[in-house]
Structure 1
Amino acid sequence: MQWACLLLPRLALDVVLRTRPDPQHPLVLLSGPATRRIVHAANDAARALGLRSGQPWATAQAIADDFERVELDPAAVEHARELLAHWAYGYSSQVTLAFAHAVVLEIGRSRKLFGDWHTLEPQWRRELQAMGFTHRLVAAPNPWAAHAFARVRDGLAADADVLHAHLARVPVERAGLPVDAVRTLQRMGLRDLGAVLAQPRAALGRRCGDALLRQLDRLCGHVDEPLLCHRPAEGFRARIELGHEVESSQALLFPLRRLTADLAAYLRARDGGVARFVLVLEHDRHATSEVPVGLLAPERDATMLFELARGRLEQARLPAPVIGFELHADALPPFVPDRRDLFDPRPQHGLPWPQLRERLRAKLGDESVLTLESRADHRPERAWHAYSARDASPTPHLLPTPGGSRPGWLLRKPQPLRHGVARVLSGPERIESGWWDGGDVRRDYYLIETARGQLAWVFCDAGRRDGLMVHGWFA
C-alpha cells in the first residue's frame, strides 16, 4: 500500500453544512440555469422530507417549504478541496488533485514517521470528522487503483498481491475509464473489470481505443506516470458566506471557530505559525470592515487563535449587519515550540506566560499590556521604559550595573518620609548622573526600616542626612 485516496462524495454539501451551527436543519443546494433550476444535493433532513438530488426546483417547492436553499458555489468547493490538500501535505510531500472529487497522496515514505496504514486511517478519520468533511479512505499500490476503489467502497486496504482480485470486482463505470469505452464495454456485456481484463488486449484496443488500454495499465500498476503535485500557497485565505444578516458579534463565533480551525490545520501542514491575520467583515450597503489580530510570537494552536480573534472581534464595532466573513493570513513565519520541562510543574489548567499575555492583549487592548525595558541610565526614574506591542523597542536592552538592591515598587514621584527611621540596613549608595541632559541628580540612597516595620528605599541630597524622600518600597 503506497498510495491513499481521500474521496469526498458530498463535498459541495459539506462546504455549506460545516458553516452552519445546526447542520440537521433541512438544506438543499441549487444549480443549473435560471430556467432549469434543479436540486444539486440535499442533506439527510431534506431527504427525509422527500427532496432528492436531480429534482426540478419546482417539484422540490411543491413537496416541502420548510428548508433552506443555498446556491452551489464551485469556487468554494474547489477551495475546500485545496484546504484538504494542504492538510494532507502535513503527511506526505506528494499530494495530487488530479482525480475528481478526491485528494490522493503517497504514504509509502511516511510510514516510518507516522506509522502504518492501520495507525494512519483512524487518525485521519478523527481529523476529517473534526473538520466537518464526509469522506471515504482507501489504500492501494498505485493512485489510480486507490481512486477506483474509493468510488466503490470505504476502508479498503489492498496490497500488491491482492490488487487484481479487488480490481476484478470494480464496475466499469466506477473505474475511471473513458466514457465512450464504458458504453462500448457495457454493450458488449462486460460489467466489471474482471471481465474486461479477461479479454484479449488487441481486441479491446481495436474496439475501445488506446485510451482504455492506458487506463487499464495504470490501474494494474504496469505503468508509473508522473502526477502534478500540489504545493501549499504562501498565504491563507478563507471565506464563509453567512446566508443572512448578522448584527451581533456573538453570532459570528461559530464561523470564526471554523475559520481559525482551518487556519490551524493549514499551519500544521506547512509546519509554520502565524504572526498576524485579519478578519474581513462584509456588509450589504457598507464598505467592508477589518479586524486585525496581531501576535507577539508566531502561534498555530486552534484554540489559541480562536480566543485571540474572539477577543478582538468582541471589541470591534460593527458598522452594519454582516453578510460574509473572511480570514486573511499572509505573515507566516516559522513556528518554534516553547521549551517545556519533562515534568512540567505548571497546573493542568494554567496558561504559559506567552499565551496569557496574548489573551490579555486581545481582551484589554494593546495599550493595556505593556512591556518593561531596561535602559542604560543610573537614575532610577529613567532606568526603565514601558512600551506597547505596537511600538518597536526604542533602545537596545542595555542593563545598568547598580551597586545595591532595588525595590520592586518604584514610586512615580518621590514622597517625603512620613514616619521615622527605625534603623538603616544599608547605604549610602551615591547616584550622581545626568549632567549632560539637564537632569543632574546627586543623591545618597539608603535601605531603611521605618518605625512601622516597612522596608523603604530613601534618598537625600548628597552629603546630607535630612530631608529623606521615599523613592520605592520593598515587599
Structure 2
Amino acid sequence: MKPLWIALHLPLLQLEVFRPNWRINPDGTEVVLEQNRISCASSSALAGGAQHAMKKASVQMLLPEVILYTRQPILEQRCLEQVAMALLQYTPQVTYTTHNCLLMEVGASLRLFGGIRRLCHLIRHSMRVMGISISLSCAPTAMGAWLLARSEMIGSFHLQKTHRLKRILKLEKLRQRLNQLPVALLPEAQERLEWLRGIACNTLGALQALPRAGLKRRCGVQILDLMDRAYGKQTELFECINVPPQFQSRTELPGRIEHAEMILAFIHSLLMQLMGWLAAKQLAVSQIDLYLEHERGRQAIAPTHLNIKLAEPAWREDHLLRLLKERLAITQLHAPVIAVKLAASQVQIRQVMNATLFPEPKAYAEDHHRLLELLIARLGDDQVLQALPQEDHRPEVANTWISVVHAQKKNATKLHLLSTETPNQAARPVWLFEKAQPLAIRHHRPYYDAPLKLLSGAERIEAGWWNGQLVTRDYFIAENPSHIRYWIYRERLGEQAEDGASWFVHGLFG
C-alpha cells in the first residue's frame, strides 16, 4: 500500500488558544503580541492596517479598540497535543512537525472512511468543532504535504484561504507542484534567502536545478535532505505521538459562564479528543465524568460533578454528545463556570462491528440501549426502571423495580426469568394490582361489579414460611359477563381479612 500523507497547518494557533474561531467576533479586532510586537492578528486587525512585527504602541494608536493578548507558547503546545489526540480517530500515525503543523499517514484509512474526500471532510469537521483554523493538504510524501499546507503563508502571518484544499495523489504531479512553490518556504533557506534571490533562484524548481555540490557547500546538507524527502527521493521516518493510558482533558473558558448550555461547545471539543483516544485504544466508554469548575482561591467553590452512566458502552460522537447535551439541559449551576474537565472513568474493549450480509438482532438491541441512555440523561438514573424478577412464588414479591443502570450489574439469569416461560407454567395477568382487593360473595360466587365465573382449576401457592410471612392461597382465572378476565384467589387455612373476606382479586388479564 502506497503511503499518503495529510498535513495540517494551524496558522492562527497563537490567537485561537485564547478565542476559538467560533467564538471570535467577526467585527472584533484582536492581535497577539510577542516582545511587544505583533506576531498574529485577526482579519479585522489586518484590514485596519496592522502588520507583522508592528509595535504595541503603534497598533494601539492605529486601532484604539484593539484587544491585545500576550503569546503563550505553553497554551499553544497544549492545543497542538489536543488536536493531535482528536486526529487519532482517523489514523494511529500522527506526528508533530515544525511551524505549528501536524502530519498524518492515512494510506490505510481511506477505505474505512470512504476515500480521501470524505476523510478530509471529517478532519475539517473535527477542527471546526475544536475552533481551530487549518490549511490542509494531501500528498504522497510527508514533507511535500507539509510544504503545500504552508504555501499560503508566504509574505503574511495570516491565513487567507482556510477553505482551500490541496490534494495531490501522484508523485509526479507533486513534483511539478513543488517546483512552483517559493524557496522562502524552506526554513533552512532563510539565512541564504537574499543570496538565492540574487541569482534568480525564487522557486523550489530553480533550487533543484542548481548543482548539488555547490548548493551543499554554500547552504548545508539540511536543505538538500528536506528537498529529497519532499520530492520522494529519500525515506521519511517519523515518531508517532504516544497515547496516554487514561483519558482526562481540561480547558479554560474565556470568561465566566452562568448557563450550562453555553459551555456545550467547549465540551464538544473535549469530546472530540475523547473520540481520538478511544479509537487509538480500541475502547468503548461506559461512564463519563464531567466537572464544571467554579471560583478558585479564597472564594473557592467545589466543582459541579456530572456522572453519566451508559446502559451500553459507546464510542460514537453523536450519541455521546446527545447524552451530554441532555444532561446539561437539566443542570442548575450554583455559580459561574470558568473551566470544564472531561474524563473517561470506565472503559472496556470495543466489540467488533457486525460484518455479515444481513443484520442481526443485536443491532436493534443497540438502538434500545441508546434510547434508555437518552431517557436516563433527561429524567435521571432513578426515574428509568427495569423489572428484576425474584426467586419467590408470592406474586407481590416476585418482582422488584430497580434503575436500568444498576440492573446491568445484576445477575443475567435473573433478568432472563422475565421472558422465560415453561410449558407447564400457569398463565399470569399483564396487570397486577398494587394491593389485592377483597371480593364480595353472592349466591356462593365471587362478585366484582358482576358475578365471576371460574375458568380454571386452583393453582396453590404456599410460601413465606421462612420469614414469618406465610401465604396460603388458591389462585383461579375468573371471567365476568363482559368477558373480562381476572386473577383471583381464596385464602386457605382459615385466614381472612379484617372484614371477613376470604376472596380477593389480584390482577387483570389484557
TM-score computed with the length of structure 1 as normaliser: 0.84
Alignment of 1:329-344 (within 5 A): 329-336=344-351
Deviations 1:138-165 (A, max 9, x none): 2223211221122215514152223433
Contact 2:89-2:275 within 8 A present in 1 as well: no
Q: 1:31 to 1:116 in 2, by over 3 A?
A: same
* Greater shift in the superposed pair: 162-171 or 355-364: 162-171
Distance (whole Å) between structure 2 residues aligned to residue 222 and residue 315 of structure 1: 59
Contact 2:175-2:231 within 8 A present in 1 as well: yes
2:503 is the alignment partner of 1:472: no
Distance (whole Å) between structure 2 residues aligned to residue 421 and residue 107 of structure 1: 77
Distance (whole Å) between structure 2 residues aligned to residue 9 and residue 321 of structure 1: 32
Q: Which of 400, 403, 420 pairs up with 2:425?
A: 403
Contact 1:27-1:70 within 8 A present in 2 as well: no
Deviations 1:282-331 (A, max 9, x none): 22232341222222222233343233223333444433222222222243
2:222 is the alignment partner of 1:211: yes
1:88 is matched with: 87
Distance (whole Å) between structure 1 residues aligned to residue 69 and residue 287 of structure 2: 32
2:103 is matched with: 104
Distance (whole Å) between structure 2 residues aligned to residue 123 and residue 322 of structure 1: 30
Deviations 1:191-211 (A, max 9, x none): 222222222222222222222
2:478 is matched with: 448
Contact 1:374-1:397 within 8 A present in 2 as well: no
One-letter identity of the residue aligned with 1:397: T
* Greater shift in the superposed pair: 391-400 or 8-17: 391-400
Q: Which of 259, 280, 288 pairs up with 1:248?
A: 259
Q: 1:279 to 1:183 in 2, by over 3 A?
A: farther
* Greater shift in the superposed pair: 421-430 or 52-61: 52-61
1:199 is matched with: 210
Q: 1:209 to 1:70 in 2, by over 3 A?
A: closer
Q: Which of 301, 305, 309 pairs up with 1:287?
A: 301
* Greater shift in the superposed pair: 108-117 or 197-206: 108-117
Q: 1:149 to 1:258 in 2, by over 3 A?
A: closer
Contact 2:388-2:400 within 8 A present in 1 as well: yes
2:466 is the alignment partner of 1:436: yes
- 3-state SS of paired residue (1:85): helix
Shift of 1:136: 2.3
Distance (whole Å) between structure 2 residues aligned to residue 201 and residue 328 of structure 1: 53
Shift of 1:364: 2.1
Distance (whole Å) between structure 1 residues aligned to residue 261 and residue 92 of structure 2: 39
* Greater shift in the superposed pair: 237-246 or 332-341: 332-341
Distance (whole Å) between structure 1 residues aligned to residue 452 and residue 208 of structure 2: 104
2:55 is matched with: 56
2:454 is matched with: 424
Alignment of 1:134-283 (within 5 A): 134-153=133-152, 154-157=165-168, 159-177=170-188, 179-180=190-191, 182=193, 185-186=196-197, 189-264=200-275, 267=278, 271-283=282-294
Deviations 1:440-468 (A, max 9, x none): 22211112124665432111124889721
* Greater shift in the superposed pair: 402-411 or 448-457: 448-457
* Greater shift in the superposed pair: 273-282 or 236-245: 236-245
One-letter identity of the residue aligned with 1:312: R
Contact 2:389-2:400 within 8 A present in 1 as well: yes
Contact 1:172-1:193 within 8 A present in 2 as well: yes
Alignment of 1:373-392 (within 5 A): 373-389=388-404, 391=406
**Root-mean-square deviation over aligned CA pairs:** 3.5
Q: Percent identity?
A: 29
One-letter identity of the residue aligned with 1:194: G
Q: 1:244 to 1:6 in 2, by over 3 A?
A: closer
Contact 1:370-1:389 within 8 A present in 2 as well: yes
2:160 is matched with: none
1:364 is matched with: 379
Shift of 1:102: 1.7
Distance (whole Å) between structure 2 residues aligned to residue 412 and residue 236 of structure 1: 47
Deviations 1:237-264 (A, max 9, x none): 3333322222232433343344445544
1:348 is matched with: none
- 3-state SS of paired residue (1:155): strand
Distance (whole Å) between structure 2 residues aligned to residue 212 and residue 40 of structure 1: 26
Deviations 1:208-249 (A, max 9, x none): 222233223222322214210124434333333322222232
Distance (whole Å) between structure 1 residues aligned to residue 262 and residue 27 of structure 2: 17
Distance (whole Å) between structure 2 residues aligned to residue 119 and residue 390 of structure 1: 37
Contact 1:149-1:156 within 8 A present in 2 as well: no
One-letter identity of the residue aligned with 1:151: R
* Greater shift in the superposed pair: 462-471 or 365-374: 462-471
Contact 1:11-1:101 within 8 A present in 2 as well: yes
Q: 1:87 to 1:311 in 2, by over 3 A?
A: closer
Contact 1:237-1:327 within 8 A present in 2 as well: yes
Distance (whole Å) between structure 2 residues aligned to residue 378 and residue 180 of structure 1: 90
Contact 1:446-1:458 within 8 A present in 2 as well: yes
TM-score computed with the length of structure 2 as normaliser: 0.79
One-letter identity of the residue aligned with 2:104: L
Contact 2:452-2:480 within 8 A present in 1 as well: yes
One-letter identity of the residue aligned with 2:397: R
2:442 is the alignment partner of 1:412: no
Alignment of 1:292-307 (within 5 A): 292-307=307-322
- 3-state SS of paired residue (2:429): coil
One-letter identity of the residue aligned with 1:192: T
Shift of 1:413: 2.4
- 3-state SS of paired residue (1:230): coil
- 3-state SS of paired residue (1:323): strand
Deviations 1:373-410 (A, max 9, x none): 11222221222222225646455633386721222222
Distance (whole Å) between structure 1 residues aligned to residue 68 and residue 385 of structure 2: 49
Q: 1:469 to 1:108 in 2, by over 3 A?
A: same
Q: 1:230 to 1:440 in 2, by over 3 A?
A: same
- 3-state SS of paired residue (2:413): coil
